[in-house]
Structure 1
Amino acid sequence: MVPLRDDNPVSITPVVVYALLALNVVVFVHQLMLQGSFGEAGLQQFFDTWAIVPAQLTNSFATGIDQEWLTLISSQFLHGGLLHLGGNMLYLWVFGNNVEDQLGHAKFLFFYLLCGVLAGLAQWFFDPASPIPTLGASGAVAGVMGAYILRFPRARIVTLIPLFIFFTTFRIPAIFFLGWWFIQQTFYSLMSLGATADVGASGGVAYWAHAGGFVFGAILGPMLGLFSKDQDNARF
């Protein structure tokens, strides 16, 4: 299932969502240029420096404040491929504008980055000795989805669904669309216990970052004023 749009109008221009989309694309273009100039080795060195490397992060916690902590934020703007980038940006585009509308620009940016940091720590917690970089906006975007399902549970999501060799669209309530997504991520997280999740190098998925980001978004959203703006969420 691929979300195409939601049916909730916004009262402000989602400038933070636009800026995040643009920044992620710019960084991805930079990755492609690095890969073109220095090959896979150059790109891997870039990931080793700016993505979360759990083993390095573990060592930094033992030694005190370290540059490695910055990767909890910088890793949110790195992606392992075009599909990885496109999927994350699509979900941010569909769900981010309404959450930004509810929280306001500044609080939404803080919320987004904090969800990404906490999601990265959730992934690190379950594999703290891994030497493989973990990267992507998935944890932060999952936080946006966690907030969205609380604020707009009955909003209809226009969704592209394959039927054999054809594609069609359905309007699926957010509570079912996002709820099913969360159940999947939680199941895969439990199944991946003991296995290294890596988005950047071997094509794995950081499921704990997804599930953790979703939960943190559902917790942090109300704390930051997700329900303070009077807006009808009973849309059919």
Structure 2
Amino acid sequence: MSTALSVNLNKVALIRNSREGQFPDLIEFGTLCLDAGAQGLTVHPRPDQRHIRPGDVFALSGLAKMYPGTEFNIEGNPFAAPLGNYPGLLALVEQARPDQCTLVPDSDDQLTSDHGFDLRRDSEKLKPILATLKSWGVRISLFMDPDLEQITRAHDLGVERIELYTGPYAEHYGSDQSAALLDQYRQAAVYAQELGLEVNAGHDLNLDNLAEFLSIPGIAEVSIGHALTVDALRTGMSAAVKDYLGICQHSR
């Protein structure tokens, strides 16, 4: 079984936003990724618009539709309030109609996503949001820690997928904690699949740690942006995408 690679373009947008104009151009780099074989594109628009902007969401959604079989994934915090010309996550999803919406509990002041949902606290708030997304025909994925109780709660909410937050695995890769952490993620992924959930994964996965993580059976998709962008600085975007695909396509 292969694992789909969805390339997160946030860091390309971050470089662009350091200057006026559209250089580097996200459509150009999204096209490079898809031409190199990536199966999807991911964007994570935040209220402060420090990287992906609302206009990028619609432009890249249009690009993905030009490549049959490509999946467009919008990540974001469903509870974040509109700010300036950021209309809120659900407004963007309603207009762009991505294949998948990955809900992430990141606050406005976080540098990056660093934990999964606490569904003991957030389930009731999420229910009307999930119902709305389902009415639009958008697949829902919840950003989750490898916690079996929390995964049970995700299943009970009726979502189709979870995305395992892999930050701790990546942080401790190669240390004496690595094997135990990998086993924790393996148990979580297998348990989720036994419940009928599909499993995505993402955060700080790279060319060094990805293959070992994908020894976990049944990972449907990985979303990779930061490390792939860094690798692209060394080798070029097309070559970097192909390096990651080489690992994903041999996953079992």
Q: TM-score, normalised by structure 2?
A: 0.25
Ranked by relative contact order (alpha carbons within 8 Å, sequence separation 6 or more), the top structure is 1
Relative to its length, the structure with more strand (as a share) is 2
Relative to its length, the structure with more helix (as a share) is 1
Q: TM-score, normalised by structure 1?
A: 0.26
